[in-house]
Amino acid sequence: MPTVLLLRHGRSTANTAGVLAGRTPGVLLDDVGRAQVQAVATRLAPVALSAVVSSPVQRCVDTAEAVRAVHGPRGRLRNRPDLVLDERLSECDYGDWTNRALKELAKEPHWAVVQQHPSAAQFPGGEALRDVQARAVAAVRDTDARLRAEVGEHAVWVAVTHGDVIKAVVADAVGSHLDTFQRIVADPASVTAIRYTATRPFLLRLNDTGGDLSGFTGTKPRRGRSRTADSSDAVVGGGSGSGTDGRG
């Protein structure tokens, strides 16, 4: 089955300022964020990516372009994948909370709902977190199904998006209620890998900020090679490790 690498954008100027940027235009990666993005792009260079899909928010687009750059004419692949923008991967619309300091928002009565009962959280003048999860999961599953049909079950692709979006997709993948999604962490420029099968998703990596990603080759298995990675069954005992030909 295809594998999606959920990539959070690098650290932004809003992150360092402690501001909830949301979809505000003009929020860019800071110096640390740009370095983080270059590092993760280098880690992804050995992987033959079938697609790069991104939130249209600029900090994600800049992150996605850095990943594509290592797969261009001077990179590993002669033909790099096009950049596809998907609104469904966009940041949550935080409504009236947008551009406010997090330390101030923590004093709002609704903050406790966001923290403890996210499935009921509707940002004033903005979006509900349950709707964020629904659109993001649909975006990931739709692209995954398309690549399986067009490229094959070996396809590996990148979805560049935001922290809360990744957390919501992970909660769905592991069968956890949205109310537990605040227990999940998605750091800037981190990679989270999920493989969807016919009967269940498998969480292969979570919040990986420095591990070797070359095991997610994205290349078609040679004839006669093990096909266990395409199975919907979990490997009893743990297998040989995720991101390899053996499952686990």
225 belongs to a structural domain:
no
How far, in Å, CA of 41 to CA of 69, rounded? 8
Those residues with Cβ within 8 angstroms of residue 224's Cβ, 6 or more apart along the chain or in another chain: none
Classify the C-alpha dihedral 174-61-1-70 as positive or negative.
negative
Q: 10 Å Cβ neighbour count for 15?
A: 20
pLDDT score of 180: 96
CA 158 from centroid of its chain's CA atoms: 7
Count how many domains the chain has.
Answer: 1
Q: What is the pLDDT of residue 219?
A: 78
Check: CB of residue 18 under 8 Å from CB of residue 103. Answer: yes
Structure tokens at 204: 């292969």
CATH number at residue 115: 3.40.50.1240
Sequence-distant (6+) residues with CB within 8 A of 110 are 121, 123, 124
Instruction: Determine, yes or no, domain membership for 31.
Output: yes
Give 232's DSSP letter: S
Number of helices (H), then strands (E), belonging to the chain: the values are: 7, 6
| pLDDT 10s digits, 69-99 | 987 654 444 567 899 999 999 999 999 999 9
Task: Provide the CB-side half-sphere exposure for 131 (13 A, CA).
Answer: 12
For residue 151, is it left (φ>0), alpha (ψ between -120 and 50) or beta?
alpha
Expressed as residue numbers, the domain containing 151 is 3-211
Block means of pLDDT (10 residues each) for the chain, 248 residues, are 96 96 95 98 94 98 96 57 96 97 97 97 97 98 97 95 98 97 97 96 97 86 53 64 46
CB-count burial class (<10 Å; 0-12, 13-18, 19+) for 61: middle
Q: What's the gap between Cα 124 and its chain centre? A: 26
In a domain, 221, yes or no: no
Is 180 inside any structural domain?
yes
pLDDT tens, position by position, 9-36: 999 999 999 999 999 999 999 999 999 9
DSSP β-ladder status, 201-208 and 83-85? unpaired
Q: What is the pTM of this model?
A: 0.90
Q: Report pLDDT for 228.
A: 47
Q: Give the helix ranges, DSSP H, for 82-188.
A: 102-105, 110-116, 129-150, 163-173
User: In which region does residue 95 sit, left (phi positive, over 0), alpha (psi from -120 to 50) or beta (all else)?
Assistant: left
pLDDT in tens, 210-224: 999 989 987 776 665
Residue 21 lies in a domain: yes
Q: Is residue 88 part of a domain?
A: yes
**Residue 228 counted as domain residue:** no
Please report whether residue 17 resides in a domain. Answer: yes
